[in-house]
Homo-oligomer: A and B are copies of this chain.
Amino acid sequence: MTQQMETARRVPLSRDRVLEAAVRLADEVGIELVSMRRLAQELGVVPMALYKHVANKEELLDGMVGTLVGEIDPPVGDAGWKTAVKLRVLSARRALLRHPWGRPVLESRTNRTPAVLGYMDSFIAMFLAGGFSVDLTHHVMHALGSRMWGFTQELFDDPAGQAAGGQAEMHPEVQAAMYREMAARYPSILQVAMAATHDDGQVVGQGCDDQFEFEFALDLLLDGFERLHHQDWTSKRAKLDQGWSDAIG
């Protein structure tokens, strides 16, 4: 331990070492505990030393996203666009499951870093290679949105602290009371929740198969994309421009 820290202190800091340590720290203790100060401490360094390798915390987070993108499989070239897109999204999803901090960090990113632009570019290229018009590709990319990264903004995401099965510790009476309360106030939620969880008395959100739900929505979108593509769908805006081109051309 002491030896490790001394070794760490001997090796000079570098942007890569900083990012690597940030990723490891976020994996271990969660992103909410990753502060410049804590990260510096982890590296056996004074906080200000980090600022020579990253301009500020935003840039640190951008860098972390970069390493995340690096873990996503490159697109397969031999399958159709649909398979290629799906495989890539699912690969991104696996990367995000390995690094739970990826989601909140991606959501908060606002800088167009090369890593993110490159990832987006390769997605667009898959659609174009599949014969999609530039116009349809544009809208389809918007529709995909953050699902490109393998996550969806869910109704209720599990709070960081709350492990699954927390319900098990409740007294039957309390559970019964909650049940009656739900039945009175939120009858529709209860109906769906009961069907999904098979009357084991859990409330909505628990007991859902996240992977299934993600792929359900993804397939729904991809099928929709395919349908529009086959019928040569064009947005009114693009149609209008086509009219203009015809008129002036």
Where the two chains meet, the residues of A that have a C-beta atom closer than 8 Å to any C-beta of B are 107, 110, 112, 114, 117-118, 120-122, 124-125, 128, 134-135, 137-139, 141-143, 145-146, 148, 152-159, 185-189, 191-192, 195-196, 198, 203-205, 208-209, 212-213, 216-217, 220-221, 223-225, 228, 235, 237-238, 241
| 25 contacting pairs across A/B (C-beta < 8 A) | A107-B107, A110-B156, A112-B156, A120-B155, A120-B204, A121-B185, A122-B188, A125-B187, A128-B188, A134-B192, A135-B195, A138-B192, A139-B212, A139-B216, A141-B155, A142-B208, A142-B216, A143-B216, A143-B220, A145-B217, A146-B152, A146-B153, A216-B235, A220-B220, A224-B224
Whether B139 contacts A145 by the Cβ 8 Å rule is no
Given A145-B217, A213-B142, A216-B143, answer yes or no on A121-B187 (Cβ-Cβ < 8 Å). Answer: yes
Which residues from B are CB-within-8-Å of A198?
Answer: 241
**Interfacial chain B residues near A157, Cβ < 8 Å:** 110
Q: Kindly list 13 other residue pairs between chains A and B, CB separation below 8 angstroms, not including A117-B186, A121-B188.
A: A107-B107, A110-B157, A117-B185, A117-B189, A120-B155, A120-B186, A121-B187, A121-B189, A122-B188, A134-B192, A137-B192, A143-B217, A223-B224
A interface majority secondary structure: helix
Please tell me which one of the listed residues B118, B122, B217 contacts residue A142 in the complex, with CB atoms under 8 A apart.
B217
Chain B residues near A142 (CB, 8 Å)?
152, 154-155, 208, 213, 216-217
